[in-house]
Amino acid sequence: MSVAGVTRADAGEVQTVVAARRLRSVATVFIGVGRPSTAAILASMVHNPDLVLVYESGTIGAKPTRVPLSIGDGELALTADAVVSVPEMFNYWIGPGRIEVAFLGAAQVDRFANLNSTVIGDYEHPRTRLPGAGGAPEVAANCGEVVVIAPHSPRTFVESLDFVTTVGHGDGPGARERLGFRGRGPTAVITDLGVLEPDPVTRELTLTQVHEGVEVDTVLAATSWELKRADEIRVTEPPSSEELAALRELVSR
Amino acid sequence: MAELTSLSEAVAALVHDGDSVALEGFTHLIPFAAGHELLRQRRRELELIRMTPDILYDQMIGMGAARKLVFAYGGNPGVGSLHRFRDAVENGWPGPLELEEHSHAGMANRFVAGASGLPFAVMRGYLGTDLAALANVAPIECPFTGEHLIAVPALAPDVAIIHAQEADRHGNVQLWGIPGVQKEAVLAARRSLVTVERIVDELEPRPGSLALPGWVVDAVAEVPRGSRPSYSLGITDRDNDFYRFWDRLSRDRDAFTAWMQEHVLDGATVQ
């Protein structure tokens, strides 16, 4: 299907567009590099021109015209409303819960949206050493809510994390409250196949949405645990020609 | 009072085998040239401290200069893995590397405690994670409210090394753009070295700049382009292509070693 010469969106583009839509009525978003950054810039282009982009490097209100390679690219500092030190970023801005939404990625996600970005395998003798925590634990504890963006495969959506880097909903109801966390934790996991959201009571991730053309069975097969399904599973509204054109123009800059 | 000196003399005087050394700079102003000078002077058994090891510590680890790494995020920002860091942890090449792992917030607060002359800092963090059991952190109760918090121990490196845009002839340093945790690192350390893009007669105030008076710094050395392939805002640009190139080159031990020999040990810092 093509609209005015625009080819159909691929799965990664749909994932980015769906993530951008989560920021329609959000004031502030904390973002890392890669797809989260692309989604946030897209949101500010298409849905929410007043969206405040906050990067971990200390650039608050950055207005990048291109998707930055690193979270500390010069353009972010030059266009920011404020540029602060790392201690200030965590102690004054993230810690007190001033940031509404945080986008986080991970190498492994479990059924309660806890995240691993430290090691695959045993910590002392890892099969794969991953970069590590960075800012994720405190960002996830304190930002108003967390949106996880991850590729959907059984390697990523695992029964049990090899390492708990970042707490999502812990072991279920009441876990975040017992730990004294301020934010609501993960409210959505956006993948290239669909969207998982925590059940309001059990906090377990539940399939609530599939992207157009994706079978529910495909999502179940790409998840290592027996994924719960919502009574009614929505189908993602496909990217509009405006969303897709803006996204492609952004990444081509 | 800071001594204006050459990079090689400053490293020879300030950094010894076995020291704990923090070369700081959060994506911006990473002191590559100084790190390369440490390698040329064959410093060994270093405890390397950095929130984000980046390519510089990948190089230093791969060259066998480190016995221990204290860090929070060991990736090539926006690109992927640090392959020399991974090879050291996964395969012990070129030698074993002890890890002390924290979160960014933890590392930042550890530097703040060090700069403040306090034994620890208090924060909300680590709770519920596997990091809490690994890292040297401890639960602490607020004496006023009873809230359960986490104490993280102060960082007090033997040496802090940072890069800045400018210094004057008295060694007063000015940097602007992303400030990272450089001020805290210098104030937390026993000794400090600042490399600068240029030495000027008079510092011109810049919006949002951060100043370090010359009397808290031990040595200042002029090293133009001393943060490349990182950058010095307003003077040099981040070499994003180099970060991508490093991902390919550093996967192979022999290619890595040959490159380091040619571009770092035998030559000046890559420009």
Stretch B99-114: mean pLDDT, rounded?
98
Contact check, Cβ <8 Å, A129/B238: no
- State whether A58 and B180 contact (CB < 8 Å): yes
Is there a contact between B128 and A118 if contact means CB atoms under 8 Å apart? no
**The predicted structure's pLDDT at residue B62:** 98
pLDDT for B17 equals 98
Q: Show the low-confidence residues of chain A (pLDDT under 50).
A: 1-2
Do A134 and B52 count as a contact with CB atoms less than 8 A apart?
A: yes
Q: Exposure of B96 by Cβ count < 10 A (0-12 exposed, 13-18 middle, 19+ buried)?
A: exposed
% pLDDT > 70, chain B: 99
* Least Cα separation, residue B5 to chain A (angstroms): 28
User: How many residues does the structure list for chain A?
Assistant: 253
Contacts A126 to B, Cβ<8 Å: 89-90
Which residues of A have a catalytic role annotated? 56
Close Cβ partners of B114 (under 8 Å, ≥ 6 residues apart) = B154, B155, B156, B157, B184, B187, B188, B189
Q: Most A CBs within 10 Å: which of B71, B90, B104, as the mutation test of the A interface?
A: B104
CB contact under 8 A, B27 and A78: no
Instruction: Give the tens place of pLDDT for each residue, B57-106.
Output: 999 999 999 999 999 999 999 899 999 999 999 999 999 999 999 999 99
What's the pLDDT score for residue A34?
80
The whole-number pLDDT of residue A6 equals: 67
Tell me the mean pLDDT in the region B236-265. 97
B-chain residues near A180 (CB < 8 A) = 124, 127, 147-148
Q: Chain B closest CA to A216's CA: distance in Å?
A: 31
Nearest to B208 among A33, A74, A83 (CB): A83
Q: To 10 degrees, the CA torsion angle through A237, A242, A245, A249?
A: -120
Rounded to the nearest integer, the mean pLDDT of chain B is: 96
Cβ contact, residue pair B78, A33, below 8 Å: yes
* B 203-242 residues inside an 8 A Cβ radius of A: 208, 210, 231, 233, 237-238, 240
Q: Which B positions 23-42 lie with beta carbon below 8 A of chain A?
A: 26-28
Please indicate whether, in this complex, the C-beta atoms of A33 and B77 are within 8 angstroms of each other.
yes
pLDDT digits (tens, 9 = 90+) for A17-69: 999 999 999 999 999 778 899 999 999 999 999 999 999 999 999 999 999 98
Domains of chain A and CATH, by start:
11-252 (3.40.1080.10)
Nearest to B71 by CA among B38, B35, B104: B104
CB contact, 8 Å: B184 with chain A? yes
Give pLDDT, residue A70. Answer: 86
- Name every chain A residue with its beta carbon within 8 A of the beta carbon of B124: 95, 138, 141-142, 180, 182
Q: For the residues B158-176, what does the mean pLDDT come to?
A: 98
Residues of B in contact with A141 (CB under 8 A): 124-125, 127
Cβ contact (<8 Å) for B90 and A129? yes
B233 to A163: CB separation less than 8 angstroms, yes or no:
no
pLDDT of residue A214: 98
What is the model's pLDDT at position B268?
A: 59
Q: Does B147 touch chain A (CB under 8 A)?
A: yes
pLDDT category, B163, cuts 50, 70, 90? very high
Nearest-angstrom CA–CA distance, B234 and B181: 19
Q: Where are the alpha helices (DSSP H) in B92-190?
A: 104-116, 131-134, 182-188
Residues of chain B with CATH 3.40.1080.10: 3-102+156-258
pLDDT computed for residue B208 by the predictor: 86
Report ipTM for this prediction: 0.96
CA angle B82, B83, B89 (to 5 degrees): 95
Q: What does the H/E/C string look like for B236-267?
A: CCCCHHHHHHHHHHCCCHHHHHHHHHHHHHCC
CA triple A162-A172-A181, angle to 5 deg: 90
Q: Which residue from B78, B147, B210 is facing A34, i.e. has the nearest CB?
A: B78
Contact, A204 vs A228, CB < 8 A?
A: yes
Q: What angle (nearest 5°) sits at the alpha carbon of residue B165, between those of residues B164 and B171?
A: 70
On chain A, the residues whose CB falls within 8 A of the CB of B129 are 133, 137, 164-167
The reported pLDDT for the residue numbered B271 is: 43
Report pLDDT for B270: 44
CATH, domain B3-102+156-258, list 3.40.1080.10, 3.40.50.970, 3.40.718.10, 3.40.50.1010: 3.40.1080.10
Number of A/B CB contacts below 8 angstroms equals 175
Shortest distance between the Cα of B207 and any Cα of chain A, in A, equals 10
Residues in chain B: 271
- The verdict on a CB contact (< 8 Å) between B74 and A138 is no
B246 in A contact zone (CB under 8 Å): no
